[in-house]
Structure 1
């Protein structure tokens, strides 16, 4: 008899602030997840948001659950496609859990690609960053920044307009394909807002025009930027989340030296969200993974990877954040102008960017 049936019998609904929260019997959940025996993740590079240590922490805590890591470099659109393509597939190719950009959460729910689940710390997640029914919930956020190889770039750009200067020929790359990657889509939004476009369709259109100019100037490199391309000099400047840039800086250990700059304008903050696939072959392992991520331990794991966890304010209020973690973050004033676009604004921007990148910019990022 599978232990999943025990879990169903021991789950108990309670009310917190008028919202139903499902308080799991953790012993039963651990038993059911152990019975699953495996957790299939997707799109979790170890250098992204401290995921290498987060995954290691989960393995150490639950050694009987194998973590099957699918396509670490996938974008948010790729994650949803993996769920669509593996409906009914109980093999290791099917992801159990998703970590996607904010705008992709509602899309996944609308398509029936997610299941509802509310973690024990549900009430400490801001209402603005979660689906009321529990289909998706914010996990962490950061801001778009310039990650610069200072061995190759003498004058470090401080704002978006700087990137158009001739001195940055064949130097500037995105950290993803703007037709599929949430990071890249929001980078176009940030550039568009710096150019005066309001968040939404206008920012997408203005951002496309900016990247068209960048490409025409010979400054845009149609290669997905990452630590390796920075180190090799293929992409001396990469537009990426601040936490990715800071992690790459640590990984490269000064060879070459990297500088991470939050631009003076167009500072866009992006929230990512977690979800469980509606077709998860290992649903209980997926639920246990969520409980781990949203525990204090999991949230601090993201913070150690330079991401602001969604429960940051709750952790800070109860003094749960070690001072050395706070000291390792960029100065607070770098984030003062950060804009958190709404779901509607992100959706409108995403539609403008993904539908028109090829016709306006014409650069095949890969």
Structure 2
């Protein structure tokens, strides 16, 4: 019966979803969690492209550390797709459904309200900023980035410095989003453009963003396809509205072959937090909790920083002197301002939820064009249908 009460807590907590509030995991509970997770033997993740924040190395590190299988479902799914995948798993016992999700901040509260998530507080809970976590432990921020312009400088000769520049005639058939309107990345891009047009009036930003893209579309500058590195290089979308960490990763991959410039717009600079959560119907609940412990450890938070993302526990890591010298030079310095001197705005949860609703509902009537996926010549080996839900093969659209 050694540590029996802790093992019992791990096994029954999934059945107590919604009946109790999660408590912060202790060191002893985490030790037992490793045993329980290994007994399950596997973890199923979704919407984690391997080039997104260095997730490839993070996933491989988890497998190596714990000797477990990681099923990687639909790496190019959107935040909305992730929520739908959990919803479709209600009442089913399919091990090939996601245990965990990584979604834009505004997608998490409604998933909690709909009973799609279960609470768990990692052992490093106290070091996650209160503004980036649900008080009851149903979701919590993991990393964040800033919306920027990723530009093929071999094609675009004059660099735009702000959102208003994008409507100029020289950018005809040039500007694309790196996600469709079910993705957090695209929603935040529209919001950022609107924040610039509205002179930082958050209440008007979503509507002004829609009108900005309508104007961009009328002028023939907007390319209504989900862009990626390939379309940036071949000129189909030589200007991409994208998260900075993805753009920085692109620049690293093609250095010496294609010149990529990264421009933070002088106004309308928006930072977006992504959050982790465990499915209420997770087939492998203990593996899911162990995954959370792994993600919020110093080790993986620094791995995110190496992958050009700002980990949510960055302030704590800095205060404790945990940032290696090479990451201080190569990591923290990468988030320098390329445009204006003001730092990025972190929209509140309420602001993000309202913006997402306004943009999603108003896009068709105001902008009037559908953002489609580019033809995929190299489809993923992962399953593209999950519980009868088809996933479009777009590039890193979270």
Normalising by structure 2, we get a TM-score of 0.85
CA contact (8 A) 2:172 2:221 kept: yes
- Counterpart of 1:51 (choices 40, 49, 55) is 55
Q: Which position in structure 1 is the counterpart of 2:165?
A: 162
Change (3 A) 1:4 1:238: farther
CA contact (8 A) 1:200 1:347 kept: no
Displacement of 1:349 in angstroms is: 0.7
SS in structure 2 opposite 1:223? strand
Mapping for residues 66-145 of structure 1, pairs under 5 Å:
66-145=69-148
Gaps of 5+ in 1: 12-18
Distance 2:135 2:198 in 1: 33
Q: Which position in structure 1 is the counterpart of 2:258?
A: 256
CA contact (8 A) 1:96 1:276 kept: yes
Distance 1:121 1:214 in 2: 44
Q: Does 2:151 match 1:148?
A: yes
Cα-Cα RMSD: 2.0
Bigger Cα displacement from structure 2, 332-341 vs 267-276: 332-341
- Counterpart of 1:351 (choices 353, 357, 361) is 357
Change (3 A) 1:10 1:276: closer
Q: Does 2:221 match 1:223?
A: no
Q: Which position in structure 1 is the counterpart of 2:276?
A: 274
Deviations 1:336-356 (A, max 9, x none): 421111111111111110001
Displacement of 1:259 in angstroms is: 1.1
Change (3 A) 1:62 1:153: same
Count of equivalent residues: 356
SS in structure 2 opposite 1:117? coil
Q: Which position in structure 1 is the counterpart of 2:8?
A: 8
Bigger Cα displacement from structure 2, 130-139 vs 88-97: 88-97
Q: Which position in structure 2 is the counterpart of 1:206?
A: 208
Change (3 A) 1:5 1:93: farther
CA contact (8 A) 1:195 1:206 kept: yes
Change (3 A) 1:84 1:20: closer
SS in structure 2 opposite 1:135? coil
Displacement of 1:147 in angstroms is: 0.4
Change (3 A) 1:185 1:9: closer
Q: Which position in structure 1 is the counterpart of 2:176?
A: 173
Gaps of 5+ in 2: 12-21, 373-398
- Counterpart of 2:24 (choices 14, 21, 25) is 21
CA contact (8 A) 1:86 1:93 kept: no
Q: Which position in structure 2 is the counterpart of 1:363?
A: 369
Change (3 A) 1:88 1:4: farther
Distance 1:344 1:199 in 2: 14
Deviations 1:242-291 (A, max 9, x none): 00100111122332221111111000011110000001111111101000
Normalising by structure 1, we get a TM-score of 0.93
Q: Which position in structure 2 is the counterpart of 1:40?
A: 44
Q: Does 2:339 match 1:337?
A: no
